[in-house]
Structure 1
Amino acid sequence: MDNKVRYFDEINFLRAFAILAVISIHVSAYFTRMDAINGLGALYMSIDVLSHFAVPLFIVLSGFVLYNKYSDDIDIKWFYKKRLKSVLPQYLIFSTFYLAATYTGSIVLARPVNLDLPHIIYRYLTGGCFYHLWFFVLIIQLYLLYPAILRLYNYFDLRGRLLELLFTAYLIGVLYNVYPIPDIFILGTSTQILGVATKFIGYVFYLVLGMTIRRRYDELLLKSVPKLSLCYASIPLLCCTVIGIFGYAQRYFYFDITQILPVMGSYWHWLTVMITPFYYMTIFALCFYISLNIVSSRSTALKWLEKIGAYSFGIYLIHAFVLYIIVLAFPRFGFDWNNWLFYPLISIITLVMSYLSVEVLQKFPYSEYLIGSTR
């Protein structure tokens, strides 16, 4: 284990971009409640597609930070104790909170509630107590696997074959996403337990990518990037976003892609899965470039952005509840996802309320066990 841990100011800006994208995903996803595709729906879909880099970026940052702290031999017992303490209490506390909140809401709205103990345990094990908590199950899986991944990484690194490791992780992730794990029947009920247990397979590439960026970080900083090349990056971003919109139209509005691209047929899913990591990496590069350019700024607005990044763990935990309450209340006053102001207004309210909640909670003793470290 490394004794010298280097600090990177730009990490919190990258976390800020990721958490803003998470909120963007969850607000723009209400296009799925629209009856048909229109201009507003297409805008929501494009925002949603573009924002889906959020979780992969969080995983890249996890790989970066983990390798920054643990790049050699690890005291596995100490590592697991420290890592699980940083995520497991928060996950269990908020899972219980969301479970109680949704059950209470269902009772108030006279909806059926499943209080069977096996069902409740299943929800805890799979991150199913609320829709965004699956991410914590994924992080816990990656933490548990990190010592083994690190050994494999160092093995390839010593032989100068990191590119091969990255390509292998990419290929395995593509195959996993093209051929997902099927549901299994437990006690006569179809469950996704195997799919949840193997979720990490689709994200190992991003973890290894983050480790590699940290390994070669100083070399990357020395390479200047022409501004013109950043402009060129907008072309593949636009193309991939359009492809993503077609994918959503096909999935949620029964749009037949073969009407426009008859040669694609069954290859469409393969295409989207294969290009998605490159799409996200282009966005990562843009976020990284922006972070490096603003990291030395002392303006109040950018300091607030840095603080959003420092609060990102807590904001992630809390924002879903804030959004849940807003979407329950606002449509009753005729303001819903069919309004052009819905996305910007709800995103801002969700962010501000989540931020203020973390600001208050982090003042309490032992708050790190609730909302994580806010340093």
Structure 2
Amino acid sequence: MFRPVQLNLMENKARYFDEINILRAFAILAVISIHVSAYFTRMDGINWLAALYMSIDVLSHFAVPLFIVISGFVLYNKYSDHIDIKRFYKKRLKSVLPQYLIFSTFYLAATYIGSIVLAKPVNLDVLHIIYRYLTGGCFYHLWFFVLIIQLYLLYPAIIWLYNYCDARGRVLELLFAVFLIGVLYNVYPIPDIFILGVSTQILGVATKFIGYVFYLALGMTIRKRYDELLLRSVPRTSLYYASLPLLCCTVIGIFGYAQKHFNLDITQILPVMGGYWHWLTAMINPLYYVVIFAFCFYISLNIVSSRSVALKLLEKIGAYSFGIYLVHAFILYVMVLALPRLGFDWNNWLFYPLVCIITLVLSYLSVEVLQKFPYSEYLIGSTR
């Protein structure tokens, strides 16, 4: 179905967009925000600080969907037509697979050493270790690389389908279809299977891409119609009005977290919802993120046009975002082990801002150092 042919000229003459690195910066800042604010789950109950953490966490969860939208945009910018599949796979997998394997090994060793130091049990079973590599389970944030590898492997099929629909004026129908499939996937997740008598999520991990194809296709559509979108002026009042659904969806997200982590019974507060709560959140979340994408895009265009100091800083953070994603979790892991011993933990109002800033600064400096080593792109990706 997919003929390996010569790459079209678009691969060699891909257009550059300043705002993309700004969007990457927003996404990686949101990733750090998620991983710091998530410590509300260790709090004993709901208070004002826990509610603040939950609201920040809900707002920040646009991070991975935005990274996928950017991936769809960039891939379509470079590979919009026929693809030399062998060359495409070699280039794309080279950009993520070595880094994933190196950092999986690093995090696996770090957590094993940490467990030994803390006198916790360590599972050295070979099959268990292989399972963790296959599923992005060597550390909590590495699942993203399994997802992006899946999307890269599927991209030739996705671009064929996208171009097929585009040629017939059916892109909106395609977006709606993948949106609905993603909703159904999130409402009815793939069940665990038993391997050697142990329950595993390997099928769920292998199908993770289903919940994210909508964002990839959205990024492709934005790139396809980018110039047309730029010509459309959006009044500021529209953005103000958009803040209302953002507020409502954030409140819904807080209720969802309260139900999951603090055993809050939603039906007592919203009895009309009953068993429809999961459906509501599954359908709202993608639309919620799209509104946040619009805000991020609007802000990024203004930052690019201003040519301010913020532009240079965010451009650098965006260029380093791949490496920051890889290293920040280790820095946060060490801090969260050390800080509570000094009497400073998630129950302190300064925990979130200080830990976020320290994690970002140390991650940035780490990437700054690592990118000076030979072949650093195989460790932290390209920082251009």
**AA aligned opposite 1:141:** Q
d(CA) in 1 for partners of 2:285 and 2:117?
A: 41
d(CA) in 2 for partners of 1:297 and 1:196?
A: 42
Aligned with 2:302 (options 293, 308, 311): 293
CA drift of 1:298 comes to: 3.0
d(CA) in 2 for partners of 1:264 and 1:278?
A: 19
CA drift of 1:300 comes to: 2.5
d(CA) in 2 for partners of 1:119 and 1:369?
A: 26
**AA aligned opposite 1:300:** V
Alignment correspondent of 1:138: 147
Aligned with 2:50 (options 34, 41, 46): 41
d(CA) in 2 for partners of 1:131 and 1:165?
A: 32
d(CA) in 2 for partners of 1:305 and 1:144?
A: 30
Alignment correspondent of 2:4: none
Alignment correspondent of 2:166: 157
Please list the CA deviations of residues 230-283 of structure 1 after superposition, one character each: whole Å capped at 9, or x if unmatched.
Answer: 111110000000000000000000001111110101001100100111100000
1:197 to 2:223 alignment: no
CA drift of 1:297 comes to: 3.0
CA drift of 1:61 comes to: 0.2
d(CA) in 1 for partners of 2:316 and 2:366?
A: 13
d(CA) in 1 for partners of 2:129 and 2:267?
A: 42
- 1:258-297 equivalences under 5 Å are 258-297=267-306
1:121 to 2:134 alignment: no
SS in 2 for 1:295: helix
**AA aligned opposite 2:229:** L
Check conservation: 2:324, 2:363, Cα contact below 8 A: yes
- 1:88-237 equivalences under 5 Å are 88-237=97-246
d(CA) in 1 for partners of 2:305 and 2:244?
A: 29
d(CA) in 2 for partners of 1:315 and 1:361?
A: 11
SS in 1 for 2:305: coil
Gaps of 5+ in 1: none
Matched residue count:
375
SS in 2 for 1:185: strand
**AA aligned opposite 1:292:** L
CA drift of 1:4 comes to: 2.1
SS in 1 for 2:314: helix
What TM-score do the two structures reach when normalised by structure 2? 0.97
CA drift of 1:296 comes to: 2.8
Gaps of 5+ in 2: 1-7
SS in 1 for 2:14: coil
CA drift of 1:24 comes to: 0.2
Check conservation: 2:303, 2:310, Cα contact below 8 A: no
Alignment correspondent of 2:65: 56
Alignment correspondent of 1:364: 373
d(CA) in 2 for partners of 1:365 and 1:103?
A: 28
d(CA) in 1 for partners of 2:58 and 2:261?
A: 14
SS in 2 for 1:233: helix
CA drift of 1:156 comes to: 0.1
